Structure 1
Amino acid sequence: MKLNKLLVSLLLGSMALGFAACSTEAPYMIDSSLTSQYMSAGDIQAKDDDALSKRLTDFLSTEFKGSDVKAIVRFDNVLLVGQVLNNSDKLKMVDICKKWPGTKEVYDYLTVVEPTTNKPNPSASLNMSSSLASKAMDLIKLHYDISPENIKLVVVDGVVYIIGTNVGNLNALHDAIENMYSIKGIHKVINLEKIGNMDYNVSAFK
């Protein structure tokens, strides 16, 4: 009888060890969708804007040889900057952007290269300044009540272009714009910010 009990105990012990080994070696599967990087609606919009900007810029550059333009996109609104060789190309570019799937407003700030006596056949050039744009954006970021992620800002030929919506405190944005004129190399600011439901004026609360 004691021998039988001993055999049963040994058998149960070996089974327990076997179960333990199985449980520790079994793979623990996690759905990959749960571990992928989370993207907010704002992140997705910004990614879509960048993709649309590249598609438009590449298409216009390919279709209109000799031009030097860039399409800046924020919240599906398009800002066209740069130079073209003639007014016909300029009008066609604007029309293409207006009819492009997914675009909303199109802001035309393209310039036509005018021939001169010294340059009867001038070439187009896009003179963007990333350093001036960075300095201008830094002034915006000084204000805690402005959402800089909702803004695209570029500087072309000393002109600051601001495009976006729902930036927050419009009074603070105005102050930042006024201070941009103190930056050497900037002589004009064009604010194309589209008023959204998250924008407000401080005076409205007084």
Structure 2
Amino acid sequence: MPNHTFDRITDLAKRYSLYSLFKQYYQGEWELARKVAATIQQYVPVNDNLSFQQDHQLDEAALFDYNRLFVGPGKLLASPYESAYRNAQGLVMQEETIAVRQFYLQAGIEVSNKNAIPDDHLGLEFEFICYLLSREGERLQADDSSTANHYAALYQEFCQQHILSWVYQHCDDILTHGRTWLCRDTAIALVRFLQREEANFLSKEEFV
């Protein structure tokens, strides 16, 4: 295996790990915030004064903050749905949601409980990215660079069309309304990670 292919597979594994942690965080495993921080600071230089410390408490206040931002009840202060940011009325389950669903289908997959959770929930979008990265890595290991590049191009297209179009604003809302280190620091970590992705993987016109 050429060195550049090995390096690409190694980096894919690291990126997959981060996306997987963010996916789980947004799908309700909010206790993973510390692990997100520990991993992100190994992979992405973070200049912000992130306050993830062992003595921070994952307590009821943190859970309350997480729920008021992402879950409810009541108006979500940092909705995890793409359509809430991209739809003019701020509504969910709109044409933006269908566009995400169509993108999933283009890659050959669909949400198993699509009638319960809108396809454009950030946790599902990150899960889809994990799928694309895993398929890219599998094809590289099989010495199938053409198909691997196809999945890399799908990742780039999906992020440009769907992730970057709203997630930074979503993180700004978290920093505006979040009250605890749990949500605020995780938002900062997500921003720094996506900025690294933009610089290194989302502006390439071709793949090697």
Q: TM over 0.5: same fold?
A: no
Per the normalisation by structure 2, the TM-score is 0.27
Greater Rg, structure 1 or structure 2? 1
Higher RCO, 1 vs 2 (CA within 8 Å, ≥6 residues apart): 2
Greater share of helix: 2
